[in-house]
Structure 1
């Protein structure tokens, strides 16, 4: 019978890669090390990794991950706005080219192709922003080469775009998975108390689940536990204490804007 036919379908996969033409965008991809006394900032690949972890945290009903997704989504939109302003400025500059002169695309003869493994939509949004910055850099370099802008303007606009992206990545570095769920807050157990002490309060509408990122995944709540005390001890000892043992505890993961985002 056709109705008895079972199809063993695997997961969908798509090969995705990013092509970059400028050293300016390539440096954003790689991130910034701690040389010259500056703070280390992750690159795009590191940002994508954090977004994948953040999405998994939100799937596990962690209210802090939901709050972070909202915060990162807002920062992504802010960064996009900055790049759009720069794009409008370079469009205006290039519009001054005489009609008799045709300027072709300013492309690298040997671009770099980078494979991408992205499981979170917020990660893809950052990929689009880096691609936009690479295009912006190409056009700015062309504008300088054709005497439409001077060197100072070129460097200032390139730095503005790079600063916006590094500020986004710097913010993402502060994220930590809390290990608690909304049920912990409802029970006001030791795990919730410790998470609140360490990470601060979560906005009430986020805690209630009524306000989430537009890309937030469906939540998976833990099943009922017969021994509440065992659940509480596990949440405290395993989910909180051992969760971020390999991470730097000095970074403040609060949900109010900080000045630690890339200056």
Structure 2
């Protein structure tokens, strides 16, 4: 007779860290707390909390969450493409370095290493954008140090790259939880009417669930919270609660 074993498997885990070399990238990670006369700027931890909330709401069949996930995904892909364009411009400048001069990588002697706890793919995509920016800034600073570009060009490029991340965080900061399901929308109940008044009517293919983000989770058919997908709204710098416009300005 075959032996029977009790298999009690836990959840899979991996250790993930992020290393940053520039103060510019570190400031974008931290964001800025609001105070009198100064508006808050969402940082990476706040952005990640928003994407965790989005993923959970999407798993509960919230069409507004799916709608916002698509907007955020589009913004991310656009930003990474534009960051790639900036990096190509730096590559063009670097070709002016004489071949007799050998310049190594511009690395911080004391970089900051941060542990990452991310429950959403849109969170990881933003991390990749931040690392692209960190590498880009290192190369721009080195190009200025080695007299390949002047200070004005250096500052313009660094600010241009930072704008891409601030714009992404600004869009995420506008997310508001609708708290409705596709069943609510089909029934046109009070929750659905309130959501429509606040956020407008989602496109029909999103309402039907036929168009979702490539990173959208499976839709749960009960009220149980999917394992490892929950996230408290209190984790967000400024409570996100969807229906933001497709484009976000600087935070």
The normalised TM-score by structure 2 is: 0.89
**Residues 155-174 of structure 1 aligned to structure 2 (within 5 Å):** 155-174=155-174
Equivalent in the alignment of 2:73: 73
| Distance change in 2, residues 1:139/1:88 (3 Å) | same
Instruction: Specify every segment of 5 or more residues in structure 2 that has no aligned partner in the other structure, as ranges.
Output: 224-231
Over the residues paired in the alignment, what is the CA RMSD in angstroms? 2.6
CA deviation string 1:128-158 (max 9, x = no partner): 0000100000010000000000000000000
Does 1 or 2 have the higher relative contact order (CA < 8 Å, sep 6+)? 2
| Distance change in 2, residues 1:147/1:156 (3 Å) | same
Instruction: Specify every segment of 5 or more residues in structure 1 that has no aligned partner in the other structure, as ranges.
Output: 224-242
Greater CA drift, 3-12 or 136-145: 3-12
Residue 60 of structure 1: how far off its partner (Å): 0.5
- Provide the C-alpha distance between the structure 2 equivalents of 1:244 and 1:113, rounded to a whole number of angstroms: 26
Equivalent in the alignment of 1:261: 249
Equivalent in the alignment of 2:83: 83
**Residues 1-263 of structure 1 aligned to structure 2 (within 5 Å):** 1-2=1-2, 4-34=4-34, 37=37, 39-222=39-222, 253-257=242-246, 261-262=249-250
Kept in 2, the 8 Å contact 1:181–1:221? The answer is no
Residue 11 of structure 1: how far off its partner (Å): 0.4
Residue 176 of structure 1: how far off its partner (Å): 1.5
| Distance change in 2, residues 1:178/1:3 (3 Å) | farther
- Provide the C-alpha distance between the structure 1 equivalents of 2:110 and 2:238, rounded to a whole number of angstroms: 42
Residue 45 of structure 1: how far off its partner (Å): 1.2
SS at match of 1:18: strand
Equivalences, count: 243
| Distance change in 2, residues 1:36/1:66 (3 Å) | same
SS at match of 2:18: strand
- Provide the C-alpha distance between the structure 1 equivalents of 2:138 and 2:250, rounded to a whole number of angstroms: 24
- Provide the C-alpha distance between the structure 1 equivalents of 2:68 and 2:144, rounded to a whole number of angstroms: 39
| Distance change in 2, residues 1:135/1:120 (3 Å) | same
Greater CA drift, 47-56 or 35-44: 35-44
- Provide the C-alpha distance between the structure 1 equivalents of 2:238 and 2:200, rounded to a whole number of angstroms: 14
Residue 255 of structure 1: how far off its partner (Å): 4.5
| Distance change in 2, residues 1:252/1:47 (3 Å) | closer
The normalised TM-score by structure 1 is: 0.85
